[in-house]
Amino acid sequence: MFRRTGAQMAGRLLSFDLKKEGVIVGMIHPGFLLSDMTDGMPGRDEAIEPSEAAPPFIDFVTSLTMAHTGEFWAPLGPKGIGNAEEVLGKNLPTPLEVPW
């Protein structure tokens, strides 16, 4: 069993409250993006430009339905989630529902 962070749990609980209003609550793992925050980090050469990540994010968000409310997703799949394959196995789908 995986544990959810406080932010993920808040999103999950919010999804229960807003479902009856027809509001979809989607939580997204951005992956490892190039930014000032990632300067000097190990593996930075594998980080993704935000401009490369934006189109799949937009496509993913516009495809969400009420069936996805309260779920945590990585629109770029395991790319940028350092331990995804180690924890979840090989040949993971894109987008990837993140269980933690």
Q: What is the pTM of this model?
A: 0.83
68, 92, 78, 66: CA torsion to nearest 10: 0
CA distance 30 to 39: 16
pLDDT of residue 7: 87
pLDDT surpasses 60 at 2 = no
Length of the chain: 100
CA distance 42 to 20: 44
Please say whether the beta carbons of 56 and 77 come within 8 A. Answer: no
The 10s digit of each residue's pLDDT in 41-63 is 887 778 889 999 999 999 999 99
Average pLDDT, the chain: 89
The pLDDT > 70 percentage for the chain reads 96
Kindly give the residue spans of alpha helices, DSSP state H, lying in the chain.
6-19, 50-63, 84-88
The pLDDT > 90 percentage for the chain reads 55
Please say whether the beta carbons of 41 and 89 come within 8 A. Answer: no
Across the beta sheet with 96-97, what order do the strands follow? Answer: 27-28, 72-74, 96-97
Choice among 9-18, 22-31, 44-53, 89-98 with the minimum mean pLDDT: 44-53
